[in-house]
């Protein structure tokens, strides 16, 4: 047993000694004798393992230092070269094959900014052209008037038939209402009466005030006559059949409708507008409830002077 252990140690010493060639491969003797201990078998098994590793190490150590260095350097250099090439290829791919490179992103910003600036300039230019077209008045260009007014045939507060032709040659101020109106119609008619008196006083102009009912069912000739006398001696009251009132209201774009009907007692919702008509019975301008007496009189005087 001791002889075999000494032999094994000698083999290991020679294998691990630097600069020595490895011994020829030789199998270690098997311990198969019945008298051998388990410790010896395990020791010899491990010795075979260490012997193989030592032989491999010794063979590697026999390479010349320059060759080993060259091999090491070449192997490492080849690996580094391949690794460097791979990294460069990956870097190139990340720049060239990516979704957006820095150069393309910069070009996109420049192009987008140019488009925005161009669009803004074109928009401003278009708006300026529209303003110029709107404000510029071309020679010979006429301004159209609203399609308000038209022929009608009604009865005055004296029961005589009248048409729009009976008002030709005079400036006329029309108002649509009804005699049972609780507050708005009386206020508007009082304003109308005061305005025409002020116009006559300031501008020496005669205006014919006209009241046309939108409640023909209750506003008879007699009812209208009694009503208009309460406001002005020159106020002309007109009434007619339901169909005739509907036609004249439609011609002057007047809205009216019955509301809160309880038997014969009801109100009429209607437009609160006065229409200024020139001596040809053509529409000139309308005046709403927001005009007071002075602004109404001054507005009518201004329109009449401009049309002369």
| 300 part of a folded domain | yes
**CATH number of residue 190's parent domain:** 3.40.30.10
| 264 part of a folded domain | yes
Supply the pLDDT for residue 70: 39
Say whether 115 sits in a helix, a strand or coil: helix
| 106 part of a folded domain | no
| 85 part of a folded domain | no
Contact 245/211 with Cβ under 8 angstroms? no
DSSP conformational letter for 290: T
Residue 157 marked in a binding site: no
The two tokens of residue 293 are: 């007496």
Supply the pLDDT for residue 49: 45
Size (the chain), residues? 308
Supply the pLDDT for residue 144: 53
| Percentage of the chain lying above the pLDDT 70 cut | 59
Q: Is the dihedral of CA 71, 72, 77, 78 positive or negative?
A: positive
Q: Looking at the 3D structure of the chain, how many domains does it have?
A: 1
Q: Express each pLDDT in 254-264 by its tens digit.
A: 999 988 766 66
Q: Is the dihedral of CA 265, 270, 276, 277 positive or negative?
A: negative
Contact 209/236 with Cβ under 8 angstroms? yes
Tell me what the pLDDT averaged over the chain comes to. Answer: 75
| 73 part of a folded domain | no
Is it the case that residue 153 has pLDDT exceeding 50? yes
Per the model's pLDDT, the better-predicted residue between 221 and 142 turns out to be 221
Rounded average pLDDT over 76-99: 47
Q: Express each pLDDT in 190-223 by its tens digit.
A: 999 999 999 999 999 999 999 999 999 999 999 9
Range of the domain at 197: 166-307
Residue 7 marked in a binding site: no
Residue 185 marked in a binding site: yes
Supply the pLDDT for residue 82: 46
Comparing 145-149, 154-158, 178-182, the range with the smallest average pLDDT is 145-149
Per the model's pLDDT, the better-predicted residue between 6 and 19 turns out to be 6
């Amino acid at each position: 047993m001791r002889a075999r252990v000494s032999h094994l140690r000698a083999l290991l010493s020679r294998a691990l000694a630097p600069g020595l060639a490895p011994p020829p491969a030789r199998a270690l003797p098997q311990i198969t004798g019945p008298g051998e201990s388990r410790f010896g078998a395990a020791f010899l098994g491990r010795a075979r393992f260490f012997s193989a590793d030592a032989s491999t190490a010794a063979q590697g150590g026999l390479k010349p230092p320059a060759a080993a260095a060259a091999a090491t350097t070449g192997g490492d250099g080849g690996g580094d070269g391949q690794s460097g090439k791979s990294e460069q290829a990956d870097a190139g791919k990340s720049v060239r094959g990516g979704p957006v490179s820095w150069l393309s992103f910069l070009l996109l910003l420049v192009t987008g900014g140019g488009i925005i600036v161009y669009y803004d300039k074109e928009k401003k230019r278009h708006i300026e052209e529209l303003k110029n077209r709107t404000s510029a008045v071309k020679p010979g260009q006429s301004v159209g008037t609203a399609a308000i007014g038209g022929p009608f045939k009604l009865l005055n507060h004296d029961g005589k038939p009248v048409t729009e032709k009976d008002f030709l040659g005079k400036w006329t101020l029309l108002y649509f209402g009804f005699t049972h109106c609780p507050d708005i119609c009386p206020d508007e008619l009082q304003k109308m009466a005061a305005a025409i008196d002020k116009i006559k006083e300031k501008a020496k102009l005669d205006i014919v005030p006209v009241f046309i009912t939108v409640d023909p069912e209750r506003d008879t000739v007699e009812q209208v006559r009694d009503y208009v006398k309460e406001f002005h001696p020159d106020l002309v009251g007109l009434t007619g059949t339901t169909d005739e009132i509907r036609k004249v209201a439609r011609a002057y774009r007047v809205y009216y409708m019955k509301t809160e009907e309880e038997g014969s007692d009801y109100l009429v919702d209607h437009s609160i507008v006065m229409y200024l008509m020139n001596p040809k019975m053509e529409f000139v301008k309308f005046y709403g409830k927001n005009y007071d007496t002075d602004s109404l009189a001054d507005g009518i005087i201004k329109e009449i002077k401009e049309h002369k």
